[in-house]
Amino acid sequence: MVLLKRFFTIGLLSLLGVKSFAQGSSYVANALQFSQTGVHGTARTLGLAGAQTALGADLASLTSNPAGLGFYRKSEWSINPQFIVPTTTSTDGVGYVKDRKVNFTINNFGAAFCRLRDDIVETKWRGGTFAFGYTRLANFQNTFSYQTNNSASSFADNLVLLANNGYNSSFYDRNNIRTLEDLAFGSYVINPVPIFKGDSVIAYDPTRFINLLPENGEATVLQKETVNSSGSANEWSAGYGGNYNNKVYFGGSFNIVSIYYNQRRQYREFLLTNLNESDIMTSLSFDETLKVRGTGVNLRIGINYVLNDNIRTGISFKSPSIIGINENYEASMSATFKPKNEKELPNSAGKSLIPQTNSYTLYTPSVLNWGVAIFAGKKGFISGEVEYVDYATATLSGKQKINYLDANSSISKNLASVLNFKVGAELRSEYLRFRAGYSYQPVVYQTIVTDLDRRIRSSDSDVISLGLGFRSEQYYLDFAFTRTQFTSNYAPYFMPLKNPTDLKGSEPNISIENRLYTITLGGGVFF
């Protein structure tokens, strides 16, 4: 069953080709959200903004370039707990609403088992390292809210347009609520148009609908919403890195992907004017809960080459992840009214959707990384890398493949290939390490696309990082701070454009400044 979310796109409907557009657009949001990763790895790697491809001897090599495992000289185990603080500032152009949440997690842990030959052994094959670990690739923790006064449209107007696009209330079953139109009809938010004979109502048209609000421009509604997200994308990895002649390093890893994502939307509307009238709707509530779980696999391979004592280069390739996605969706709607006759219109009404499920397979894009590291002896190094991802190659499939044709077409049409950049530097003293880094990710759209999900950026994203480390012969400690920043646009529903060249309709248009702060403390023991 295709979720109601596919038609409502987590609150966002296009009224130009309502169902086909919304269906494809929502899948674009999912494909992008679950394909993108942030700066990830150990505290050491986070301090370098993830510029790890040409480096090694770190468990972050499992999820960047497994050839780096071949640089290990000792076995180790490590753990990296992390505090995550997402903050948002939302504005309708008039007022501002700030939100923040705090989350604690284990960002990375694992162990590496080094089997390196002694230098006295005369062979070019120097051995290698087997490692396993867990890494959080992306954080879905976030929250934002807004409120705005709107005299141009209401969510109820959007629901009327949706219902007038093919809904027939003759088939309504109050015990079997399966669509957004059913919810709105059962809650009296939309009502059939009366058919008159003279001054008398003789019937109601089950295919044409109105709402109980004054005409646009004659009334003002207060619109409020809170959206809360949680979860993460993670990888469990096992890999091996080999060392040939201390010159060529190669490796591979097998990775199990897990996705855990929850989103809760709470939308409210309150009529502020025309309250002296009768037979009007005075408030509207709409709640949605989406739960997504996914499990999949991918492979990574890589190679590093030491040109000389000062320069290393590396390249890695990650195969497309094949992820089975399971979604569970619930929704409810209610409204209050000021009736003239309670026998014809109740004071309040509400309905809940029958919980819906959907399963499909997501094939994420492959990822290609190339990096260079320049060392200044034992004083430190500078590391940089370029990452190529073609998001237009993401595809979806399921038992009913026809349901995903529009989605895959939208993905290939609207998403683009991008180059992401990372650079990091480390300054060394005898025991201390000082680190800093910067990462840049451009917008991933080929064309202008209305922002369908607040995880989709409407601007470039950049990450700045700072790190500090202590290293001895027996153990090490690391600290990293990162700040990720981007902006996004959000609308709870769509209204028709007055002109084909317009980018926005009469719906609320919210601009959101997003910042994600992380503090990671890492440590490990050599053995």
- Confidence check: pLDDT of 12 > 70: no
- Between CA 474 and CA 455 the distance in angstroms is 42
Q: 300 or 343: which carries more pLDDT confidence? A: 300
Q: 380 or 447: which carries more pLDDT confidence? A: 380
- Confidence check: pLDDT of 16 > 60: no
Which parts of 101-190 are beta strand (E)?
103-116, 125-139, 142-150
pLDDT band at 9 (very low <50, low <70, confident <90, very high): very low
pLDDT band at 22 (very low <50, low <70, confident <90, very high): very low
pLDDT at 453: 40
pLDDT at 23: 38
Tokens read off for 417 = 């290939």
Percent of the chain scoring above 90 in pLDDT: 76
Q: Which of 38, 520, 100, 462 is nearest to 233 (CA)?
A: 38
With respect to residue 431, please indicate whether it lies within any of the assigned structural domains: yes
- Taking only the tens place, the pLDDT of each residue in 56-90 is 999 999 999 999 999 999 999 999 999 999 999 99
pLDDT at 11: 34
Q: Which residues contact 335 (CB under 8 A, 6 or more apart)?
A: 187, 188, 189, 281, 283, 284, 285, 348, 349, 350
Q: What is the mean pLDDT of residues 154-172?
A: 96
Q: What is the mean pLDDT of residues 328-350?
A: 93
- Confidence check: pLDDT of 114 > 90: yes
Instruction: Provide the whole-model pTM.
Output: 0.89
pLDDT at 34: 93
Mean of pLDDT over the chain = 90
pLDDT at 421: 98
- Confidence check: pLDDT of 204 > 80: yes
pLDDT band at 28 (very low <50, low <70, confident <90, very high): confident
- Between CA 76 and CA 112 the distance in angstroms is 5
Tokens read off for 510 = 């919210």
CATH number (domain holding residue 505): 2.40.160.60
pLDDT at 149: 96
pLDDT at 98: 97
> Which stretch of DSSP H or E encloses residue 8?
helix 5-8
pLDDT at 201: 86
Calculate the CA 425 to chain-centre distance. Answer: 29
pLDDT at 503: 61
Q: Which residues contact 397 (CB under 8 A, 6 or more apart)?
A: 360, 361, 363, 404
pLDDT band at 494 (very low <50, low <70, confident <90, very high): confident
pLDDT band at 13 (very low <50, low <70, confident <90, very high): very low
pLDDT band at 264 (very low <50, low <70, confident <90, very high): very high
Q: What is the mean pLDDT of residues 490-503?
A: 77
Q: For the chain, what is the domain count?
A: 1
With respect to residue 253, please indicate whether it lies within any of the assigned structural domains: yes
- Between CA 466 and CA 450 the distance in angstroms is 34
Q: 451 or 137: which carries more pLDDT confidence? A: 137
- Confidence check: pLDDT of 455 > 60: no
Q: What is the mean pLDDT of residues 385-403?
A: 92
With respect to residue 306, please indicate whether it lies within any of the assigned structural domains: yes
With respect to residue 492, please indicate whether it lies within any of the assigned structural domains: yes
Cβ-based burial of 516 (10 A; exposed 0-12, middle 13-18, buried ≥19):
buried
- Taking only the tens place, the pLDDT of each residue in 119-151 is 777 789 999 999 999 999 999 999 999 999 999
pLDDT band at 400 (very low <50, low <70, confident <90, very high): confident
Least confident stretch, 120-124, 304-308, 486-490: 120-124
With respect to residue 276, please indicate whether it lies within any of the assigned structural domains: no
Domain of 255 in residue numbering reads as 5-140+230-261+291-324+360-526
Q: What is the mean pLDDT of residues 461-482?
A: 98
pLDDT band at 502 (very low <50, low <70, confident <90, very high): low
Measured between its terminal Cα atoms, the distance across the chain in Å is 53
pLDDT at 498: 73
- Confidence check: pLDDT of 24 > 70: no
pLDDT band at 346 (very low <50, low <70, confident <90, very high): very high
With respect to residue 286, please indicate whether it lies within any of the assigned structural domains: no
pLDDT at 232: 97
- Confidence check: pLDDT of 20 > 60: no
With respect to residue 452, please indicate whether it lies within any of the assigned structural domains: yes
**Contact status, residue 253 vs residue 62, Cβ threshold 8 Å:** yes
With respect to residue 275, please indicate whether it lies within any of the assigned structural domains: no
pLDDT at 269: 97
